[in-house]
Structure formats: structure tokens, C-alpha cells
Structure 1
């Protein structure tokens, strides 16, 4: 059995291997340090001292932007290339640290680092593709076009569940765009941030650029609030709860800044009577139980056709009974711990409310492996009589609510009848059903999948959702435009001065 002491020692080794300061392990609590812990045992790993005043860090970011914004974009891509190479070198070490601090199983920890590598590859190519448009003009002897320019300082505020990948989605695009970045990670996962910052600074050194183009702030909530309220921060990209988004958005809007919000998800899978149930069960189990249900894209609701719902419940219950639950550092484990006691309390509270609403737990629902010290639970399946308020609420834990439907219109209505709009899926072999689900009359989410679950996005597509999910888009496609400002240019190369719309003046 792994002890907290063992984890502290191993964490220090990993940080040292990645070139980061591991002095946290020897620190003692003095009331000023940020507690670092591991959900594997629930124990304290050590203490980190808060970073410098956020205003001072933003000062440095503003100064660095003046130079960085003038560097040609393909040259800016060089630091991203170096970052990707260093992440390849440290993939196993950083992935293990993600497992220790966030509780992800080994393959998911490494997978998160691979996602960082993938976005670096994307960013290098993007650095030569920041295209604008040439636009037809009504005036003879004129040319009209668009250019994209660096935006400014970007604040990146990340959540515990993807402690490093979300930083990379934002930072790689921002750096290629010519922006500078200030990162405020979750208080629950600061050590992975320390490691990533050390790796980035090595990349900056290799590329011969100012490391202050991407900086890190370690601190509590007030550090993030300082970035939200600082008028020099052009864009706040914040990942977290809908409650957090409701606070961030109006504060940034009040100073006319930009926001990119990635908030709550309450993701569903519609299971058609034509679905391949072997594939469906595998897709549901990963989406619902993977990361212990702590992804914003985790599956929360299953809406199954009444003709196959009983069979699906039986098959899912059987699959859940075989899930290995335990330390995420064991290679055989598929479900690791919840992040902390508050997450466990939310799990218990949701199941109690579902029972009061007439729901029946048919699999899971209990705390297990208490001897490990962390909060490990059995992923739960709850058959519900309908979509009650608890079903419409996102609980960050491995619970799926299962309901039945009689026709596709009813299923889509149920699917869309929640405040969140992140990710969605349908399992069907009927082409018409699939296309209907993907149409404007189907899923109202930012991500809609067919025959895969809602969890597990690739970096090539823009990631984000609608409604209370916040409307932001990160990662691939044209998400880079969020990190730049658009300039429409008109050039008169004639000796005349015709005015638009036929206006005559002088």
C-alpha cells in the first residue's frame, strides 16, 4: 500500500527530474503556505508558498508582450516546438505526477500529457496559418482585407480535473497568436503546474525567448480574482463551474475585457433500438466511470429506448461490477479516487436526492477502499422515473441517471432539457437518426457524437459548449481567433476618392 510519505518522496523525485523546484516537500506549515495533497491517500504532500503579487506578474507579462507581439508568427512557433519536444521527454514523469496529484489512472495521466504534445504539434503548424480574408469592395481602385493581430495578456485559470492539458490548449494558441500568458492553476493541483512551468522555461531557453511570455501564479482564489479584475488582461480563459463563470463573466465585461468560458456539462447519450449494444456499453462505461466521473464531458444521463432499456441496464450493471477501483498508480485500476471529501459529499447528496425523487440505484453507490485513505466510490447507475431537478444538476462524480423514451423527438427533448450544453452522443445504426441528432433540430450542445460517448475530445476540433457551459471554444479548428484581434483594412491605390454607399461629399 502506498503511503503519503511515499507519495511525497516520489513527487519530489518527479519534480526534480523535470527540472522543477521540489523544496515543497521539506516545507512546514506556517499558516502562509498552500497545502498540496494527493487524493490517492487524502494526505498532505507538503506546502507551497504563494507567488509574487499578481499585479507584478502582469507587469512582466505586459512588458514581454511589447516584444513578443512583434516576433513573426512562424518564429513564435519555435518555442511551441521546443515545448512539445520536452513534453515528449518528460511524458511519463509528468503523467505520473498528474496521477499523484489529480488521481487519474496511469493511462489517463499519460494521455493528458499526450494531449499537450498534440496541441504543440497543432500550434507549430498554426503558426504559419493565421490567415485573414481578402474582401470584395464596391469602390474601384480599392482593396479590402482582414488581418489578425496579437491581443495582449491572456489569463488562464484552470481546474483540477485537467491540470495540465487545458493550460496547453490556451497557452500554445496564445503564444502562437503573439500574446503573453499568466496561469493561475487550481489550488488542488499546483504541483503539476510547477512542473509544467519548469518545462516551459526550459523550452523558452532552448528557443532563445523571454520566459516571461508565459508565467505561473500559485495562490488561492484571490490570485485568480486579481487577474479577472486587472484591466491589462485582455482575455480571461476560465475553466470551472457554472457558479464560477457567473462571477467571472460580469466582472470582466464591466471593464470591457474578453472571456473564454468552459463551464459545467451535463452530458447525455441517447441509445436507439438499433444501437450496437456491445459498442454502446463500452462507450457508456468509459464516459461515465473514466476519471471517476470528474470530466466536464463525463456522461451523466443515459436516455434509452423503452424496447432495450432493461437489457441495457442489465449489461451496464454487469460491466460496473467488474470495474477495478483503487490506487490510480496500479496499472490494473480503471477507477481512481474522487479529488476530495467535498466531491464525495456531493456524490452522497446526489444519490440521496435521486432516491427522494423516486430513483433506484441498480449498481454501485457505495464508498470503497477506505483503507487507502482517499475517497473511492463505486460508479453508480440510477434508474430514474424522469428528468428531475437532480438529473439536471451536474454532480462531479461517477453517477449516471438512466431514463427511457418512446420516440426520437421525446429523446431529443429530454436531452436538451438541461441548462448545460457541452457534449452529447447518440448510439444508433440508423443513418436518419444520426443525422437528425446532428442537425439544428437535434443536440443543442457544442459537441455532438455518433456511436462514441461524449467524453474524450481530440485537439483538432474546437472544444466547448453552449448555454451554461459558457460558449467558449478552445484547442483546434479556428479557436485561435479568440486569442487575436481582427483589423479590417481598406487600401485606396487610385487617384480618386469614391465613398461607400454612393455618398457624395465635396
Structure 2
């Protein structure tokens, strides 16, 4: 772990062993099994660094320069970070390289914005009055990240928190702690002061929950399941702690009759199979116009059958391993429910290449009803549920017909149709003729049970800022008491 600028083992001396999901027999990491006592040390370090340290008191330009150095450090260590990400998560090495490079760009963007953060002025509230809105850092931020995109998700939050002047305690998944620890080391080498960026490793109950409970933590940012997010939000509410949540998704991909079928099929495959479907913004529901449904499914099944999977270190691998045997069993149980409830299994549905690692076959369902389990619940695997529609109104109703609202795609050559459809979809991230696209300039977040708050873009800094209204009277005020 990294606490107050120092590398530390757990106070208990216990560790957590991690085996690579894409290389079943390979032990690739041992991380400290932190406890509440370890988390207490990290929170104390972050609190001290915020209350008394230089980071919140630096100019935006000074913080920006250091954050640019972090971005450069990420690029200088790209191959090391990509290898760790590949081995711990099971994702293909090519994908991991692309993600690390993208994260460096997020740090650069946040660094640039950090020196331009502003408040507001009100010069029209009276001849003798002037109002200022002061932006201040929110304080100590606890950040809990999941195992599917550990480096991306920590880089979607930490640069914005640090850019606003906050200090952080990050708790990564016990499955994928390596790149987060290494990122904190790179930040320290770049000039981030000790105590500003702390990382604690271990399980959620041992070191994550305290970030919601401890009153020394001012803000909690959690990415993960609806179940855990709801629990943490309830705990944080007892302390009136600000909470940002990015939770589950059940992303619809709406394909209209005029869509480019070849492009749509390729995008749909990417949307549901990216990261082996272990993606909260996965396009796991195909909502397709009935007139093109057979042709699109034929094309999609053909693509799915030729998807290159296997060793995540392979140069041509596009489809990697799943995080654990337990998670594969969970995905398989959803496939069983889909069959039992009457959906038609067109492809896949089980393990593949089990001798090499935790691989699950690309899986496509047709004839799915909107009320089926596979159409309503987040599977978090490479399983696509296909539902037909006849009118645009029906497509929108189907898209909005779950408890989630994280992402959605619309495929159409008609720009008016596409834009009007996305305007009616209740989701925080939408794409037209693409899927799982992103840039640091654009905000992300959810509607409904997919979460609260927004990360990235200019809006992301507001999550980690407090705003203070300052009223000034110019000249002598009107006396209240007349003698």
C-alpha cells in the first residue's frame, strides 16, 4: 500500500494472492490484506495533508504542472502498467495499452483545467454590494474502484479530485490493486506531496466501508454494484457525507431500419463483448427494428463466431478472460434463466477454452421479452438480449424500461431520428452510430439506479468542490438601529 508517501505492508502482515484469470495457474501478485487500522492511517494522512499540507494551498498552475508530470510518468511506464492490467484483469494486452494511453490523456486534460477553475461574481445586486462565489476544495475524498477497469476508473476520479485541491484515499478491488498502487507511486515521483494520494488494499468490508463511515472523509466516490452502492450511500448519509455513485447498467443499442447494418453489427459486437462484457456501459440489449432483425442477427452471429479469444498476452487477441470462476458461474446462471424463460439461444452460452483460463463464449439471445430476467438485470458478461420493435415510440419505451440509465446507443442514417431518440432516452451517456466511446471533455454518470453525480469534463471538478457565497458591502451600510 502507499500511505503518507511510504510503501507499507498491512499491519497484520497478511496478504491476498491474485492468480491471472487468463493464465489459470499463474500467481501474479500478492497484495497487503489491509484492515480498518490500515485504513485509519491512510485517512489520517489524507486529513493532515488537506488541513495542514501544501497541496490545497498551491496555485492552480502549480498543481497543473505536477499533474502534467504524472501524465508523463504514466506514458513512461506504459508497458509496465499495461502488463499489470492485462495479467490482473484478463483483458487483452492491446486493449490494456490503449486504456493506459487514454488515462494519460485524462490526466493531461484535468491538469489543463486545474489552472482555470473559477467561481463567479455578481455585480448587479445593488449599488453598494458585490457578490463573489468562491470555489474551494471539498476536502478528503474516499474513492472505491472496481476490478473491470481499475486504471481507467481511478483516472476518471483522482485527477479531478486532485485538480480541485482535494486529498484522496483510494481503495481498489482486491483482484486488481496493482496499477492503482503503481499510479500513486508515479504521482509521488512526479511531485504530489506525501499524504495527498494514498492507496489502501484489501476487501470492501475491511478497508472500503470505513471510507463511508469515517467523518474525516468529506466525499465518497464509489463505482460498482447497485447493492453495494446503496449500502455505502446509506452509511454515508448518517454523516451527511457527499456521495458520487456510478453503478450498474443495462445499455440498449437501438437499431433503426435505415441503419448501416454492417457497421451496426460490428458496433453491437464491440458493445457487448468489450472486456468480455464486464463493462457497466456494455450494450447488452439489442433493440432492433423487426424489418432488419433477421439480417442483422445473421451478420452479428457470424462476427461473434469469428471473434479471436485466448491468451490475453496474444497480439491478435480481442476478447479476453473473465475475472473469476465465480463470476463465470454467475453469468452462466443468467443464460440458464434466459433459456428457462423462453428466449432463443442463437450462439454460445457456456465456458470455452477452460484449460487455459476463465473464458466464456460470446452469447446471443433472440426472442427476448422485455420482462425476462436477461432483459432487466445486469449480467456483466458477454450476453446479448435481442428485442424487436416496430415504431420509434416503442423503441424508446423499451430502452427506458429498466431500472438503469447509464448508457445507450442509437444506430440510424437519419440524424433527426437519432437525435430525437437520444433526447428521449433516460441515460447519462449516449452515442449515435458508435458505442463505448469517450473523451475527457465529456461528462459521464447515470440516471435512475445507475447512480448520481457526474465525472469528467468541467462538471467533474464540481463533484470535488465546495462553493461559498461571499457578500461584500461597499461603503457604510444602512444602520439597523436608529437612535
Q: Which residue of 2 aligns with 1:451?
A: 433
Q: Which residue of 2 aligns with 1:73?
A: 60
Q: Residue 296 of structure 1: CA displacement?
A: 0.9
Does residue 266 in structure 1 map to residue 250 in structure 2?
yes
Aligned 8 A contact 1:301 1:401 in 2: yes
Does residue 84 in structure 1 map to residue 68 in structure 2?
no
Does residue 472 in structure 1 map to residue 453 in structure 2?
yes
Q: Which runs of 5+ in 2 are unaligned?
A: 1-5
Does residue 53 in structure 1 map to residue 38 in structure 2?
yes
Aligned 8 A contact 2:337 2:373 in 1: no
Aligned 8 A contact 2:47 2:167 in 1: yes
Q: Which residue of 2 aligns with 1:425?
A: 409
Q: Which residue of 1 aligns with 2:283?
A: 299
The 3-state SS of whatever aligns with 2:148 is coil
Q: Which residue of 1 aligns with 2:174?
A: 187
Q: Distance in 2 between matches of 1:433 and 1:59?
A: 53
Q: Deviations over 1:332-352 (max 9, x none)?
A: 111111100121011111111
1:378 and 1:126, CA in 2 relative to 1: closer, same or farther beyond 3 A? Answer: same
The 3-state SS of whatever aligns with 1:104 is coil
Aligned 8 A contact 2:28 2:88 in 1: no
Aligned 8 A contact 1:101 1:192 in 2: no
Q: Which residue of 1 aligns with 2:199?
A: 216
Aligned 8 A contact 1:265 1:296 in 2: yes
Question: Residues 15-414 of structure 1 correspond to what in structure 2 (within 5 A)?
Answer: 32-43=14-25, 44-51=27-34, 53-66=38-51, 67=53, 68-204=55-191, 209-221=192-204, 222-372=206-356, 374-387=357-370, 388-414=372-398
Q: Distance in 1 between matches of 2:185 and 2:145?
A: 17
1:113 and 1:385, CA in 2 relative to 1: closer, same or farther beyond 3 A? Answer: closer
Aligned 8 A contact 2:374 2:385 in 1: no
Aligned 8 A contact 2:103 2:155 in 1: yes
Q: Deviations over 1:138-158 (max 9, x none)?
A: 322111121100111001100
Q: Residue 136 of structure 1: CA displacement?
A: 4.6
Q: Residue 46 of structure 1: CA displacement?
A: 4.3
Q: Residue 50 of structure 1: CA displacement?
A: 3.0
Q: Give the one of 373, 395, 415 matched to 2:399.
A: 415
Q: Which residue of 2 aligns with 1:493?
A: 474
Aligned 8 A contact 1:423 1:446 in 2: yes
Stretch moving more, 219-228 or 268-277: 219-228
The 3-state SS of whatever aligns with 2:265 is helix
Q: Distance in 2 between matches of 1:334 and 1:210?
A: 39
The 3-state SS of whatever aligns with 2:451 is coil
Q: Distance in 2 between matches of 1:356 and 1:87?
A: 48
Q: Distance in 2 between matches of 1:251 and 1:429?
A: 47
Q: Distance in 1 between matches of 2:178 and 2:429?
A: 31
Q: Distance in 1 between matches of 2:91 and 2:188?
A: 26
- Over aligned residue pairs, what C-alpha RMSD do you find? 2.1
Q: Deviations over 1:179-211 (max 9, x none)?
A: 00101000111222222222222112xxxx422
TM-score (norm 1): 0.89
Q: Deviations over 1:96-151 (max 9, x none)?
A: 21011011112210122112211111112111211212225432211112110011
